[in-house]
Chains A and B, each alone.
Chain A
Amino acid sequence: MTKEMNLEERFQAYVDGENKVEPKDWMPDKYRKTLIRQISQHAHSEVVGMLPEANWITRAPSLRRKVALLAKVQDEAGHGLYLYSAAETLAADRKDMIDDLLSGKAKYSSIFNYPTPTWADIGAIGWLVDGAAIANQVMLCRTSYGPYSRAMVKICKEESFHQRQGYEILLTLAKGTDAQKQMAQDSLNRWWWPSLMMFGPTDDLSPNSAQSMKWKIKRKSNDELRQEFIDKTVPQAEYLGLTIPDPDLKWNEERGHYDHGSIDWDEFYQVIKGNGKCNKIRMKARREAHANGEWVRKAANAYAEKQAARKAQEGSAA
């Protein structure tokens, strides 16, 4: 017991000294579990997050946009891979993680349970959803777990590119025809509040945050990150000539930040509970892809085994 305490204290001192924890280092069991949960959720979010955008690949309104969108969604699949690998360094198994996603046991970012009915949503996702994700991920580049932090550095570079792309889609719409402007505004109306919810509950209601902050997994609070995002995004909306759907939004000279209206946390918890427009649709798509791929994965494994056996036989014959 005392020895364990000492290890934990030493671990804390190590983390406090801004050192990175590596896979073979000793770590508290709860630190490992917290990270596996967080990284696998993050990986699932990348994979499920492909769906609302992939929805527009076949309908993108120009060839240039089509190529850019396809490449973007492909990047997200790549991020999913980096993150599953980062979780595997903590002795989590990719198959188990995916089973947990498909069974509904594991969560993914609730934002992807919102639909993308118009092309402008592809712009809004890039600008706002990727923007909110970046605020979180820039912080995670300094997270205490080495492999997670390194995966984040890679991911952040691509995400900033995606965000510029999304903003540029909206800028083109905002400068376009009346119908296009309307499309952009409508999309902002739908995505603004869900994007603010992406940072999670307010600090006083975020139970896991304190321990994660202490271990330097998380380095800024939900409210701090949300405020940063709002402060950064409001001028961008002004430049687009679009109106943020919050009548209480105004600059607070004293705080040096924007004040904003209250977030509808009931909606947030409803979507988490499974009542968003697309919760069931997203899970159905993932389950179907997995089930339809079953025979393919089996065939690939069977073929690989046959090949290995043939090689072994050739080897022993020679």
Chain B
Amino acid sequence: MKEQLLEYTLRLGDNALILGQRLGEWCGHGPILEQDIALSNMALDQLGQARMLMQYAAEQKGGDYTEDKMAFFRDVTEYHNCLLVELENGDWGRTMARQFLFDTYNYYFYTALLSSADERLKEVAHKAIKEVAYHAQWSAEWIIRLGDGTEESHRRIQESMDDLWEWTGELFTMDDVDKLMIEAGIGVDLSRVKEQWDQKVDQILELATLKRPSDDWFQSGGKQGEHSEYLGFVLAEMQHLPRMHPEAEW
């Protein structure tokens, strides 16, 4: 049970950290100053959530573990984020599509987590819910704007949506960790989240005049530590300095 709670905490924390890291890559390179600022806000929210969760994970590990040791001294197979958040940013449309698919999931997930039996996760959910609600609304607006904008933007955002779709499946698959956490009243029933997600995604895609991609095949494994090739590079960049000076403080 202790082990599963730690993994559950890391799944949430790693989602936030890796997505925050990816969004941070955009800073200074956005399509217009106002949106550069907005995306940095999303990144800051994700990193803020990541810190709370890494602190909680470090406390569960005990000893000399800290949020930074959790973030900077775990390798690819010890990361438990879903695959979707580690994918490359691509163009603005792809980043918005990834954001929309993830934010919508995250919003319903955190809404359910508000009634978690675990006091700490509940506390995280209470802090995060306002942020993720705003993110979900913001990225949905971008999907509508790009889908119903110009011919080019419609084509681009549809392509991104088609490409990213296969990476959304594992958001809703439940393994033993999920099941145990649900039984303990700590975790979230993802089948319920899936229903809400489907409904919302369909509604926004329709407003955006976009087609819902078909459910041919879904990738999985991120939550269990089986990642794409991207995560290694994300971690190499993020971790190199603390790993080069393991005894240093920053």
Contacts and interface: CB of A to CB of B under 8 A. Distances in A.
Interface of A: 47, 50-51, 54, 57-67, 70-71, 73-74, 77-78, 80-81, 84, 119, 169, 172, 176-177, 179-180, 285, 288-289, 292-300, 302-303, 306
Contacts of A297: 31-32
> Chain B interface: which size bin?
35 or more
B27 A73 contact: yes
Interface of B: 17, 21, 24-25, 27-37, 40-41, 43-44, 47-48, 50-51, 54, 67-68, 71-72, 91-93, 144-146, 148-150, 152-153, 156, 237-238, 240-242, 245, 247-250
A62 B238 CA distance: 9
Nearest to A304: B145
Contacts of B54: 63
Contacts of B40: 70-71, 73-74, 77
A64 B249 CA distance: 12
A82 to B, nearest CB: 11
A78 B37 contact: yes
Contacts of B71: 63
B50 A57 contact: no
A313 to B, nearest CB: 15
Contact of B27 (A50, A67, A80): A50
Given A63-B47, A300-B145, A119 B27 contact: no
Contacts of B35: 296
A236 to B, nearest CB: 20
Among B21, B29, B48, max chain A CB count under 10 A is at B29
B24 A292 contact: no
B24 A66 contact: yes
A66 B47 contact: yes
A81 B44 CA distance: 19
A61 B242 contact: yes
Contact of A295 (B41, B67, B144, B156): B156
SS class of chain B's interface: helix, strand, loop or mixed?
A: helix
Contacts of B17: 63
A59 B145 contact: no
Contact of A289 (B24, B30, B242): B30
A166 B150 CA distance: 44
Contacts of A296: 31-32, 35, 92-93, 146, 153
Contacts of B25: 57-58
Given A63-B71, A293-B31, 6 more contacts: A59-B240, A66-B47, A285-B29, A289-B30, A299-B146, A300-B149
Contacts of A285: 28-29
B240 A299 contact: no
A123 B109 CA distance: 39
B52 to A, nearest CB: 10
B149 A74 contact: no
A310 B32 CA distance: 26
A67 B248 CA distance: 19
A64 to B, nearest CB: 8
Nearest to B244: A179
B248 A299 contact: no
Q: Which of A63, A295, A300 has the most CB of B within 10 A?
A: A63
A292 B90 CA distance: 11
Nearest to A183: B245
A138 B111 CA distance: 46
B245 A299 contact: no
